[in-house]
Chains A and B, each alone.
Chain A
Amino acid sequence: MNKVFNNAKEALHDIRDGNVLMLGGFGLCGIPENCIAALVEKAVRDITCISNNAGVDDFGIGLLLVKKQVRKMIASYVGENAEFERQLLSGEMEVELVPQGTLASRCMASGYGFPAIFTPAGVGTEVAEGKEIRNFNGKEYLLEMAFDSDFALVKAWKGDTMGNLIYKETARNFNPLMAMAGKITIAEVEELVPAGSLNPNEIHTPGIYVHRIFKGTNYEKRIEQRTVRKAGA
């Protein structure tokens, strides 16, 4: 068994036009930067992206949007991307807006082998249109389906050659959920270490969920909102 690839280009070699991709990250935090760059270089088209956000105009998934590689975007919040808003309002791109917790749970359901979940989020709103509603203990819930994706592209802090992953701080977000949900999961990591180097007690994503792993390079880790205080304040 060898899960280790040299780089993003090799790990993503069989991603095709029209594939459904999950991409981890919240805003620009914990996004698979190397995988996104490889998708741009590969110029795959008509992809469906499942991701909490759509990046900003010149970074993250925004890089795929400006090249018009995305046919459909499934996300919860896309506010920071003018090109996205333009393509959405003009009808060039299909968009499904999903409540954030529902998005997370539809990934989770997929990774846990559940076909669907019930959630109260969106009951009585346009999100509920066309969906089955069930009443449990006097409260209404929407039936939301597990996601079906071809590839999950995730970013972790540390990984080993078995595919075990550890995330850092809030860069965890959707990454472990999507890692569990991908038919094929590709993980890029800042540090790739030999099996046995990571403490098994501290693994967030067990290697069984990770099919391919590579060490990413040149992480920019762009900050969307740099907020600071003065020392002593």
Chain B
Amino acid sequence: MLTKEQIAQRIARELRDGFYVNLGIGIPTLVANYIPAGMNVIMQSENGLLGMGPFPIEGTEDPDLINAGKQTVTTVPGSAFFDSAMSFGMIRSGKVDLTVLGAMEVSETGDIASWKIPGKMVKGMGGAMDLVASAKNIIVAMMHTNPKGESKLLPHCKLPLTGVKCIKRIVTDLALLDVTHEGFVLRELAPGVTVEEVKSKTAGKLKVEGEIPQMVF
């Protein structure tokens, strides 16, 4: 089973030199901690910053410099600021190479639900609908099951959708899976996790073909 840090660590292996990357709130944010040494990856924050750096040193925080999670951040050399329309312009026109976001549910056809629990949680979709509708390369980082132990990988999403047929890859605490026209396809297992466990915790159609490699940390 992977910790949240290990989910982020596994996703970080998908990064390539020169990638422009947008990281969502939660586990996705942790991906920034595992950028391979020597690799130049530029972080985009949809509130209007390219070249986001780490949190500021205590005492130097600047209220005018935050990320999309409203956290105080810094810039790296070569950074740029822009308005919110341009920010989503670069997302919509496919300039951002990788988007990592969290989800409440993903369906076997790649639909995602992540923004609303009717009658309960009304926080709004923020930029998530724009991101999933346009990003060419989206990885979902989430737990395989919800706190009640129910599968989050479903035949159809039960919660209101954020986007349809847009998710291609998921990394959970149990496995790395791709979403194809045949449903979820198991690609890698977390250490100590069996194919049977993934099968029992995946409600949607799951394809398992051949020997499934185990992730190494």
Q: Which residue numbers of A lie inside 8 Å of B, CB to CB?
A: 26-30, 52, 75-80, 85, 88-89, 95, 97, 99-105, 107-108, 119-127, 157, 167-177, 204, 221-231
Q: Are A230 and B92 in contact (CB under 8 A)?
A: no
- Most chain A CB within 10 A, of B123, B125, B127, B129, is at B129
Which chain A positions have C-beta within 8 A of B71?
224-227
Q: Are A227 and B126 in contact (CB under 8 A)?
A: no
Q: Are A75 and B124 in contact (CB under 8 A)?
A: yes
Q: Are A100 and B85 in contact (CB under 8 A)?
A: no
Which chain B positions have C-beta within 8 A of A28?
63, 70
Whole-angstrom CA separation of A30 from B83 in the bound complex = 12
When the two chains form the complex, which single residue of A79, A80, A107, A170 contacts B49, counting CB atoms closer than 8 Å?
A: A170
Q: Are A76 and B124 in contact (CB under 8 A)?
A: yes
Q: Are B63 and A125 in contact (CB under 8 A)?
A: no
Q: Please tell me if B122 contacts chain A, counting CB pairs below 8 Å.
A: yes
Whole-angstrom CA separation of A88 from B124 in the bound complex = 12
When the two chains form the complex, which single residue of B63, B73, B126, B164 contacts A123, counting CB atoms closer than 8 Å?
A: B164
Whole-angstrom CA separation of A176 from B83 in the bound complex = 7
When the two chains form the complex, which single residue of B54, B67, B134, B162 contacts A120, counting CB atoms closer than 8 Å?
A: B134
Nearest CB in chain A: distance from B161 CB, A:
4
26 A-B residue pairs with Cβ-Cβ distance under 8 Å, sorted by A, are A26-B70, A77-B125, A100-B127, A101-B87, A101-B92, A102-B129, A104-B88, A120-B92, A122-B129, A123-B133, A124-B111, A124-B163, A126-B161, A127-B125, A169-B65, A170-B66, A170-B81, A177-B83, A225-B69, A228-B57, A228-B59, A228-B61, A229-B58, A230-B58, A231-B57, A231-B58
Q: Are B133 and A122 in contact (CB under 8 A)?
A: yes
Which chain B positions have C-beta within 8 A of A222?
63
When the two chains form the complex, which single residue of A126, A204, A225 contacts B160, counting CB atoms closer than 8 Å?
A: A126
Nearest CB in chain B: distance from A32 CB, A:
14
Whole-angstrom CA separation of A102 from B133 in the bound complex = 12
Q: Are B83 and A172 in contact (CB under 8 A)?
A: yes
B40-48, B171-179, B207-215: which lies at the interface: B40-48
The 9 A-B residue pairs with the shortest CB-CB distance in the complex, in nearest-first order:
A101-B88, A101-B130, A79-B123, A124-B164, A221-B63, A104-B84, A99-B129, A120-B133, A77-B126
When the two chains form the complex, which single residue of A75, A95, A100 contacts B84, counting CB atoms closer than 8 Å?
A: A100
Q: Are B48 and A173 in contact (CB under 8 A)?
A: yes
Which chain A positions have C-beta within 8 A of B126?
76-77, 99-100
Nearest CB in chain B: distance from A75 CB, A:
6
Nearest CB in chain A: distance from B50 CB, A:
11
Q: Are A125 and B163 in contact (CB under 8 A)?
A: yes
Q: Please tell me if B196 contacts chain A, counting CB pairs below 8 Å.
A: no
Whole-angstrom CA separation of A123 from B81 in the bound complex = 29
Whole-angstrom CA separation of A120 from B129 in the bound complex = 9
| Residues from 142 to 186 in B contacting A, C-beta threshold 8 Å | 160-165
Other A-B pairs beyond A124-B161, A170-B47, A229-B55, 9, CB < 8 Å: A26-B68, A76-B127, A77-B125, A101-B130, A103-B84, A104-B84, A125-B164, A170-B45, A174-B84
Q: Are A227 and B55 in contact (CB under 8 A)?
A: yes
When the two chains form the complex, which single residue of B72, B127, B163 contacts A227, counting CB atoms closer than 8 Å?
A: B72
Whole-angstrom CA separation of A171 from B64 in the bound complex = 5
Nearest CB in chain B: distance from A25 CB, A:
10
Whole-angstrom CA separation of A168 from B83 in the bound complex = 11
Which chain B positions have C-beta within 8 A of A76?
124-127
Q: Are A97 and B48 in contact (CB under 8 A)?
A: no
Q: Are B61 and A29 in contact (CB under 8 A)?
A: no
Q: Are B129 and A125 in contact (CB under 8 A)?
A: yes
Which chain A positions have C-beta within 8 A of B83?
104, 172-177, 204
